[in-house]
């Protein structure tokens, strides 16, 4: 049985709900381009990089543009997104996330952030959790995004731990696939309908403890 030495947390959907701000900003861009971007479409953007999100959005609108124009659009969307996240407060931390991070460190389990977002450091600072991680890896830390395993592999390396000793907490299919490719065990946060490939799926981190983690992973292969 592999021990648990480190936990790697995704940000959006696990620690905070920034998907709603991404949605507002993408919706505004779609509106300017003359089509409607619905909440159901937004599901496809969870966990994927900014440029991949834009590709999906343009696919929904049936539009295509040269790369240079797409880069301008992504920059514009990010400026709108930043208007929202600059106003975030610690009240927006999802239930149970801060408690679990603190409990893990108390038991000498290392914790890292492994997010696709290039805005992760700003978000952590706004919600007051920047000092709760031993390492912070974000969209600037790797050149290939989830579902590639890179973000989680660099996080394990930054913590000085082997992938098989790490547990990933993820809310997106792309993130679960990234964890599996990295050779890590993972907890899906959300529904087994789309996160069924995770070892364990829970609805949220509310009242989820280090004991729950040990009970599951140290008694299952
Ligand atoms: P940014 P995560 C992801 O965060 C979001 O789920 C995804 O919707 C977003 O496109 C991606 O970050 C990039 O974000 O535009 O801020 O760089 O779930 O990996 O923490
Ligand atoms: Mg996420």
Ligand 1 and 47: CB distance under 6 A: yes
22-70: per-residue pLDDT in tens? 999 999 999 999 999 998 998 889 989 999 999 999 999 999 999 999 9
Residue 219: pLDDT band with limits 50, 70, 90: confident
Question: Can you give the pTM of this predicted structure?
Answer: 0.96
For helices 19-33 and 67-85, what crossing angle results, to 10°? 130
Contact 138, 115 (CB under 8 A): yes
Locate CATH 1.10.150.240 in the chain: 19-85
Q: Which two three-digit tokens encode residue 31? A: 């509106």
141 lines ligand 1 (CB under 6 A): no
User: Where are the domain boundaries for CATH 3.40.50.1000 in the chain?
Assistant: 6-16+94-217
Ligand in closest contact with the CA of 51: 1
Does residue 49 have its Cβ closer than 6 Å to ligand 1?
yes
Mean pLDDT value of segment 10-25: 97
Pairing state between β 6-9 and 185-189: unpaired
E-strand stretches of the chain: 6-9, 110-114, 135-137, 166-170, 185-189, 200-202
Rounded to whole angstroms, the Cα distance separating 214 from 147 reads 26
Token couple for 172:
């997106």
Residue with CA closest to ligand 1 atom 14 = 117
Which CATH code for domain 6-16+94-217? 3.40.50.1000
- Is 12 one of the annotated active-site residues of the chain? yes
Its CATH architecture, for the domain 19-85, is Orthogonal Bundle (1.10)
Work out the end-to-end distance of the chain between its first and last CA atoms, rounded to an integer number of angstroms. 7
Let me know if 183 is exposed, middle or buried by CB neighbors in 10 A (0-12, 13-18, 19+): middle
Instruction: From the candidates 12, 150, 171, 177, give the one annotated as an active-site residue.
Output: 12
Q: Active site includes 171?
A: no
Q: How far is the CA of 114 from the centre of ligand 2 (A)?
A: 9
Cα-Cα-Cα-Cα torsion 74, 195, 7, 100, nearest 10 degrees, comes to: 100
């Amino acid at each position: 049985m592999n021990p648990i030495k480190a936990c790697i947390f995704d940000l959006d959907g696990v620690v905070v709900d920034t998907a709603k701000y991404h949605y507002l900003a993408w919706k505004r861009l779609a509106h300017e381009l003359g089509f409607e971007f619905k909440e159901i479409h937004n599901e496809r953007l969870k966990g994927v990089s900014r440029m991949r999100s834009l590709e999906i959005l343009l696919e929904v609108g049936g539009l295509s543009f040269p790369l240079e124009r797409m880069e301008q659009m992504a920059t514009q969307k990010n400026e709108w997104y930043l208007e929202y996240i600059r106003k975030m407060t610690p009240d927006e931390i999802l239930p149970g996330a801060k408690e679990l991070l603190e409990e893990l460190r108390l038991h000498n389990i290392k914790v890292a952030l492994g997010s696709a977002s290039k805005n992760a450091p700003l978000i952590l600072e706004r919600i007051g959790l920047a000092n709760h991680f031993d390492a912070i890896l974000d969209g600037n830390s790797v050149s290939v995004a989830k579902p590639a395993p890179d973000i989680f592999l660099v996080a394990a390396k930054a913590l000085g731990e082997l992938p098989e000793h790490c547990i990933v907490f993820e809310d997106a299919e792309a993130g679960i696939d990234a964890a599996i490719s990295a050779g890590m065990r993972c907890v899906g946060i959300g529904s087994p309908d789309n996160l069924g490939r995770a070892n364990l799926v829970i609805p949220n981190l509310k009242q989820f403890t280090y004991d729950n983690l040990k009970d599951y992973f140290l008694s299952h292969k």
